[in-house]
């Protein structure tokens, strides 16, 4: 079986076109998304768990924080990549 990347993007343009989810493929597996509270406040939050995240990090809350930070860093690199890709397509036109 092929090794999956640690994080993957998942979206559902038919049923949920306004949201993009991040799938953490390693234990503890879960889906997260970027939540915007207002124009100035946004963060990544776990929205659905396949494995029990709190139980996995029991006694190690720093581990959960570190994982969420890694996920945020990966997600913002992904967003930068999307912007660069769009810029490249505009230059090709």
Number of separate domains in the chain: 1
Residue 57 belongs to domain spanning? 7-92
- Rounded mean pLDDT of 58-74? 95
Distances from the Cα of 25 to the Cα of 43, 51, 64, 84, angstroms: 20, 10, 15, 26
Residues 76-87 pLDDT 10s: 999 999 998 777
Please indicate, yes or no, if residue 25 is contained in any of the structural domains. Answer: yes
Please indicate, yes or no, if residue 38 is contained in any of the structural domains. Answer: yes
Please indicate, yes or no, if residue 1 is contained in any of the structural domains. Answer: no
Mean pLDDT of the chain: 90
Those residues whose C-beta lies under 8 Å from the C-beta of residue 59, and which sit 6 or more positions away, are none
Confidence band, pLDDT 50/70/90 cuts, at residue 2? confident
Q: Which two tokens mark 16?
A: 């949920």
Question: Does the pLDDT value for residue 35 go beyond 90?
Answer: no
Residues 6-33 pLDDT 10s: 999 999 999 988 889 999 999 999 999 9
Please indicate, yes or no, if residue 33 is contained in any of the structural domains. Answer: yes
Please indicate, yes or no, if residue 27 is contained in any of the structural domains. Answer: yes
* Rounded CA separation 1/49 (Å): 23
Please indicate, yes or no, if residue 42 is contained in any of the structural domains. Answer: yes
Please indicate, yes or no, if residue 2 is contained in any of the structural domains. Answer: no
Confidence band, pLDDT 50/70/90 cuts, at residue 93? low
């Amino acid at each position: 079986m092929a090794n999956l990347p640690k994080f993957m993007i998942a979206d559902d343009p038919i049923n949920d076109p306004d949201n993009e989810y991040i799938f953490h493929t390693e234990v503890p597996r879960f889906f997260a998304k970027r939540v915007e509270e207002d124009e100035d406040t946004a963060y990544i939050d776990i929205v659905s768990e396949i494995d029990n995240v709190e139980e996995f990090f029991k006694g190690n809350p720093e581990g959960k924080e570190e994982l969420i930070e890694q996920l945020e860093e990966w997600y913002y690199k992904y967003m930068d990549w999307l912007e660069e890709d769009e810029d490249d397509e505009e230059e090709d036109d």
